[in-house]
Structure 1
Amino acid sequence: MNQLVKLLFASAFTLMLFQCAPYQPEGQGVVGQVTWLEGNHMTMIAEEGKKNKNTTIGEPVKRTVRVYPLMKISDVTLEDGLFKSVAAKPLKEIETDENGQYTVTLNPGRYSLLTVEEGGLFASIFDGDGNIQPVTVKEGEWTLLNIAVNYKAAY
């Protein structure tokens, strides 16, 4: 009798595990985290047995993120690492939470995501075609784009 109860419990537990699926929000868009980096981040030789402190990905930071139609470097004016003027109008503007996390629902397509900084707009990723921080949104999929705001960092 005791073994029967154990067998039933194990079977029920196993069945519950197979029924659990990860949460998948409806729709599509972009999710990610915005982090801040500044100062010296050059690779350095650490003393034996000590960890190199420059392996961090940055501190989570609260920022405004603007979504633009896909833009090229020729569509903007760059000064001191920030974009001063942008040819396109933003499609959406969102705020990250205190941990730098953001979620923005978008129609399928290609977009540029820029953060709003004190002196202008910032993006840290460019592709081989000159596109600024490009991201592709596909039907029914969420695309991960972590943004490292690093215009005050040295590598």
Structure 2
Amino acid sequence: MTVKQGICGEILWKAGNLMPSPDRPVSQGRPVVRELFIYELTNMEIAKPKDGFYQFIPTKLIGKVTSNEQGEFCIDLPEGQYSLFVKEDKKGFYANSFDIAGNIYPVTVEKGKASQITFVIDYKAVY
């Protein structure tokens, strides 16, 4: 699963008590099958979450890809800046990373390169 230009990575699920403890290793998360949605770069000012989830993304959907059983995915994309979201059944779109300008889960695709990401779904985790 490789692309010459786009985004590749993994999607991981984290849940439960993840507070640091000297007698428990830090959870790296477990791979999950999820649909990853790639939108034009989207700012928090125009896509407002409700209860931590986005019900509507007002920017253009560029593509989507589903991760495999190991949580891995790859998608070919043109050069540009994008926002990533996963769809959670009955909840909406989820993203938990932002840049200083308020862009939601921003990823840049450069000419001839595949950006590597790890998308962590952790809305049921306590840190």
TM class by smaller structure: over 0.9
TM-score, with length taken from structure 2: 0.93
Runs of 4+ off more than 6 Å: none
Contact kept in structure 1, 2:41 and 2:59, CA below 8 Å? no
TM-score by length of 1: 0.77
**Counterpart selection for 2:7 from 24, 30, 35:** 30
| Residues 45/84 of structure 1: CA separation in 2 closer, same or farther (3 Å cut) | same
Equivalent residues in 2 for 1:27-66 (5 A)? 27-46=4-23, 52-53=24-25, 55-66=26-37
Matched, 1:82 2:59: no
Higher relative contact order (CA 8 A, sep 6+): 2
Structure 1 unaligned residues grouped into runs of 5+:
1-24, 47-51
C-alpha change, 1:128 and 1:101, in structure 2 (3 Å) is: same
Q: CA deviation at 1:80?
A: 1.8
Quote the RMSD (CA, aligned, Å). Answer: 1.2
The structural deviation recorded for 1:77 is: 2.3
How far has the Cα of 1:112 moved from its partner? Answer: 0.5
When Rg is computed on C-alpha atoms for both structures, the one with the higher figure is 1
**Structure number with higher strand proportion:** 2
